[in-house]
Amino acid sequence: MLENGDLIFVREDTEMGHAIQASTGNYSHVAIFLDGQVYHATVEGGVLTQAPEDFFEAGKVYDLYRYEQIDCIEVKKRAESLLGAPYNASFYPDGDGFYCSQFVAEILPIFETIPMKFGDGEQEISDFWRDYYRELGLPVPLNQPGTNPSQLATSPLLVCKERNLHDSDF
């Protein structure tokens, strides 16, 4: 089912997952499958690689997309060069390290940046994001250039392969 170069988009039932999805769309995380490993940027470990059995978790929903013209060798070289980079928890475009979609856009440079959103349908900046940035001691980077998983998934350059997969499907 997983093929080299597949992009894995994730919907998760966590507070952060809900906040990201409320602000941006269907997905809260994105990763890429290369040569049997899943490459992604995580809060806990920064940019890292995991075996699929360690990546896929119960309670999350996964959709697979593909960029048909991907050069997996080149993308993997870029991904490998960023392993160990920290997680960009500020989501600022010049923040140290990478957040998940920023990492994918860096190693597969086919995506545009868009103005970042932090609302929830009722407020321009949701309470979750106000509290999150208050704890970081930073202003919310509203409308700063960035990416998010849902935006990457809507790229006309990607083809959706499979939807609504669960950990038991892998």
Over residues 136-153, the pLDDT tens digits come to 999 999 999 999 999 999
Prediction pTM value = 0.97
**What is the reported pLDDT for 154?**
97
Give the pLDDT band (50/70/90) at residue 1: confident
DSSP 86-115: PB-TT--TTSSSB-HHHHHHHHSTT---EE
Residue 77 pLDDT greater than 90, yes or no: yes
Read off the pLDDT of residues 13-61 as tens digits, 9 standing for 90 and up.
Answer: 999 999 999 999 999 999 999 999 999 999 999 999 999 999 999 999 9
Copy the structure tokens of residue 72.
């997996």
